Every structure is written in structure tokens, then in C-alpha cells.
Amino acid sequence: MNKSTKPIQKHLVDFLEWCEVEKGLSSKTQENYSNFLKKFSEFLKIKNKLDIKPHDLTSDDVWQYRLFLARQKDAHSGKELRKTTQNYYLIALRALLNYFAERDITSLPAEKIKLARDAQKERGIHFLNLEQIEKLLLTPDTSSIQGIRDRAILETLFSTGLRVAELVALNREQFNNLNNKNELELQIIGKGHKPRTIYFSTRALEWIKKYIFLRKDTDKALFINYRARTQESRRLTVRSMERLVKKYAKLVGLPFFTSPHTLRHSYATDLLEQGVDLRIIQEFLGHANVATTQIYTHVTNKKLKDIHKKFHSLG
């Protein structure tokens, strides 16, 4: 490891280039990192530490920065920054420290950056049980092509654990020659331009086949809008998919929080409850870090606790 003679501030451009070239992060993510790190620069300026070098940064500096963030006010609401927002700033700083480690520049280890716990976010990890999932999947009226499309969408969401933006991006050509197939695996490019393999269940494929067979248009999108009358692509949008799931959830009385992401949570939770290793689930979901996948252990651990309380209690 080498001690850099440049202040942390002078490394920021190199860090963003590293994010682009080495990490393959999108321009939007780079822009976000740049904006979040401006807050750290503001903090250093207040503390008269703009010239601080990577190896001089201490755990106490990080603690002071966390206090600084906790006392910041949101420009619009005037309220203190939410824990989630504070964590965005901390994650950007942690990424910068990871860059220093990759470049053999002596600095504080990235693991010293502890994120703020957000109890509200933990409570917000919602999922459906298999009975609720089945009820949702059976809701669309499959006597019309729109209903068959909607059934294919719901089956695909639960079968694959796709993010809704990834589902929207699927094209019909990816499903050529499905006639004699009962299973399918596809390579997609997910969040952060990361490639991963997704797997379709036999049931999901059957509904996709039925839907494609009925299509008479030439639009390349797998799932299209039947209300559009323009000559442009009729590809369903993320918002359309969200409204679609909400509509069917409401029809069968499922919880108000039900959304495409709820199906992704349900997919991951079901795998974990079946004993699938957390790192395998990480691959299925396309999470860059297994720490992100660990939110599901919070859910299943709570379930185990409830089972223990019900069946193993003297009270």
C-alpha cells in the first residue's frame, strides 16, 4: 500500500473514471456518486480538512460526517434527512474507499463505514405467501389477449424474480423456437450493466407461448400496450406494469403494498425458505453485494421466531 500525496478531493475524478471503466457503472450512477460526494466535500470544508489525504482519514472523521448528515435538512421538506438518504451519501464514500484499496492507496478500510439502520425500511420488506401468489396469478381473464398477456407477465415476475425494468426490456426475439421447450434460461443485462442468467418455469413459458402465438403485430417488445394507436413502439412501460399488478391485487383483496417488486421479494423469500443458499439467491436477483440479499434473512428469521414462539412456548 502507498500513501498518496494528493488530497482526497484530487482523487474524485480518477474515482469516477474507475467507476466507469473498471466497475462498468452507468453514467447515472457515476453522476449520483459525484453529487453525493459533494456533500462530503462540504463537510471537509466546514472542518477545515479540504487538504486531508486518504491515509489521514480516521474513524472519528467518519463518525463526525455521520453526525453532520444526521443534522442536515432536506431542501424541500425542511425535515432531517431520512436514514435511507443518509445511507446514499455513506455508500458513495464507501465506494471511494474501495477505490483506494483497489489502487493500493493507504486509507481507512471501507468496512469502517457503517450504514444507518432504517427500521422503517426493514418493516417495508413485504412479500406474499404462496397461496396469495396463486390467487394473484389466477386473476386475469384469459379469454382475451390482454388477459393472456397479463397472466404471462405475472407468471414471469414470480418465476424469474426480474426487476420490472428488466421485464419491460424483454424482446419477442428472445423467445424464438419455444415450441418444444418446457424450460428456458436467458442472459439479460441487469442493473449496473451486469449480465446474469434468468430461469423461466414451465408454467410461465406456457403462458408466454400462448401470448406470442396470438400476436399479429410486428412490435419487437415482448409485452405491448393494446390501447396505443401510434406507429411507435407499444412496449409496456414500468408504470404500466406497476398499475397492472396493483389492479389485480386489488381485485382479489391482496395487501395494498403489492407491486412487481413484491413478487421479486416473494420469489427470493420462497427460495430462502426452501433452503437455497443466500449467495445463489444473490446470483438469481443480480445483487452486486450479498449484503443486499441479506434483507431476506430478516424476513425469514422473523418467521422462524414466530414459529418457535407458537410451538415451543411454556406460556
Q: What is the CA radius of gyration of the chain?
A: 23
296 is a catalytic site residue: yes
Please report which residue ranges of the chain form alpha helices under DSSP H: 12-21, 27-46, 59-70, 83-102, 119-123, 130-137, 145-160, 164-168, 202-214, 238-251, 260-273, 278-285, 290-293, 295-311
Residue 143 corresponds to which amino acid? S
Q: Which of 103, 191, 194, 234 is catalytic?
A: 191
163 is a catalytic site residue: yes
CA distances from 102 to 28, 95, 96, 234, 290 (A): 22, 10, 10, 44, 19
264 is a catalytic site residue: yes
> Side-chain half-sphere of 228: how many Cα atoms within 13 Å?
14
What sign for the dihedral angle of Cα 38, 33, 264, 282? negative
Q: Which of 39, 149, 163, 172 is catalytic?
A: 163
72 burial (CB, 10 Å; 0-12 / 13-18 / 19+) is: middle
Q: Which of 65, 99, 211, 296 is catalytic?
A: 296
Task: Report which of 111, 91, 103, 108 is spatially closest to residue 15, judged by C-alpha positions.
Answer: 103
Cα–Cα distance measured from residue 55 to residue 3, given in angstroms and rounded to the nearest whole number: 6
Set of cell numbers at residue 240? 404500466
Residues with a known catalytic role: 163, 191, 261, 264, 287, 296
